[in-house]
Amino acid sequence: MTSKKNSVINQETGMITKKDIMKMFWRSFTIQFSWHYERQMHMGFEYMMIPTLKKLYKDDPEQLKLAMQRHMEFFNTNMYISTFIGGVTMAMEEMNVKDKNFDTSSINAVKAALMGPLAGIGDSLFLGTLRILAVGIGTSLAMQGSILGPILFLLVFNVPAMLVRYIGAFKGYEIGANYLNKIQESGLMEKFMYAAAIIGVMVIGGMTNELVVASTPLTIGTGDGAVAIQGVLDGLMPGLLSLCALGIYYKLLNKKVNVIILLLGTVVVGILCSWAGILG
């Protein structure tokens, strides 16, 4: 008989237990350890999912390999919210084992749709609000020579962060196991996936405009009558140069150009174009 602590969460499939979700929760603390510029948190998220994947696909090495590859795609969100996405992902991987016709591309589509909005919520809540509040409380006491300063700083920030990580892991799985199952059974999964794909594209587009910055100081004409080319481009479509830069990187990555070469090339081209007055 399964203990209450490790009881099966989803009675229909009998696979995922509380112990499995706790493993994902504890591993989420390392999600930033392997962060890098190409795919950011993807290895940390993969590490979170490994125990679940090995359990679900223990009798199917080929599916395990595909699942491991699946979670090596780009991933980036707020670290404290990551367990919610991990819980949803666990439920979807469980659905894949249960239903042989399950569309595995939906797993990464849902991850992409969730990571952007949740990153904004998490960053605003924890980094933009709670961290400042904790620093304010801790600093005011520390300046008075009280040992409670650093203690309260750690408690005010980390206790809510821990609770969100913990509750998010279970709620994510609960939502994934209950609602996604219902969506699939009702035949709405295709429409759901279409909506998730649209949100995912919007997230990537928003990230592009925020993270890829390209502008030009070039002008047409001289003196007071000179027209700034950047102003013309912004009139056509704000962030047009950033979008063009993204398109170039996209093409080069499709051609399997090494990321290190792209980074070094970006530095060299940026310096040359800035020196020549082409890019500002």
pLDDT digits (tens, 9 = 90+) for 30-55: 999 888 877 889 999 999 999 999 99
pLDDT in the model for residue 82: 92
User: What per-residue confidence (pLDDT) applies to 182?
Assistant: 65
pTM across the whole model: 0.69
What residues of the chain score a pLDDT lower than 50? 1-5, 11
pLDDT value at position 200?
Answer: 66
Task: Please state the three-class secondary structure of the chain as a single string.
Answer: CCCCCCCECCCCCCCCEHHHHHHHHHHHHHCCCCCECCCECHHHHHHHHHHHHHHHCCCCHHHHHHHHHHCCCCECCCCCCHHHHHHHHHHHHHHHHHCCCCCCHHHHHHHHHHHHHHHHHHHHHHHHHHHHHHHHHHHHHHCCCCCHHHHHHHHHHHHHHHHHHHHHHHHHHHHHHHHHHHHHHCCCHHHHHHHHHHHHHHHHHHHHHHHCCCCCCCEECCHHHCEEHHHHHHHHCCCHHHHHHHHHHHHHHHCCCCHHHHHHHHHHHHHHHHHCCCCC
Tens of pLDDT, residues 156-191: 999 999 999 999 999 999 887 777 666 666 666 667
Q: What is the pLDDT of residue 127?
A: 84
